[in-house]
């Protein structure tokens, strides 16, 4: 079966750096995406990796290793507003998004 695994919860302090990992097992791979979802809202797109390496967008970076079926989202200079759930998703051979269960990021002052 197809699956993505990511930690259910991560806790960090304001101003710190946190990494959220995602491992996947899917039929076909057309990129790894990351989404942020605040309680009560729809997911918002953060980043997309189709090739190996690091993609940087401001305080957020995303990494992909296709040989390891692994990626991570790196959040730097954490702010309280970053408290949210973060989902990784892989586009499979049918171009559908297969979602991870989400990682709840808790930020403490």
Partner 1 sequence: GAVVSQHPSRVICKSGTSVKIECRSLDFQATTMFWYRQFPKKSLMLMATSNEGSKATYEQGVEKDKFLINHASLTLSTLTVTSAHPEDSSFYICSARASEGNTIYFGEGSWLTVV
Cα(87)–Cα(52) distance, rounded to whole angstroms?
Answer: 19
Contacting positions for partner 1 (CB under 8 A)? 30, 35, 41-45, 87, 91, 95-97, 99-102, 104
Going by the DSSP 8-state scheme, the letter that residue 50 receives in this structure is S
Instruction: Write out the two tokens for 108.
Output: 């403490």
Nearer to partner 1, 76 or 99 (CB): 99
Q: How far is the CB of 105 from partner 1 (least distance, A)?
A: 14
**Beta-bridge partner residues of 70:** 23, 65
Tokens 């797109």 correspond to 45
* CB nearer partner 1, residue 24 or residue 87: 87
Q: CB-wise, 21 or 76, nearer to partner 1? A: 21
């Amino acid at each position: 079966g197809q699956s993505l695994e990511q930690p259910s919860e991560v806790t960090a302090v304001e101003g710190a750096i946190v990494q959220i990992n995602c491992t996947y097992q899917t039929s076909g791979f057309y990129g790894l995406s990351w989404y942020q979802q605040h309680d009560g809202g729809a997911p918002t797109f953060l980043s997309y990796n189709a090739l190996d390496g690091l993609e940087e967008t401001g305080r957020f970076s995303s990494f992909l290793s296709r040989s390891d079926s692994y990626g991570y989202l790196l959040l730097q200079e954490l702010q309280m507003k970053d408290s949210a759930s973060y989902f990784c998703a892989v586009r499979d051979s049918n171009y559908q998004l297969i979602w991870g269960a989400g990682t709840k990021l808790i930020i403490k002052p």
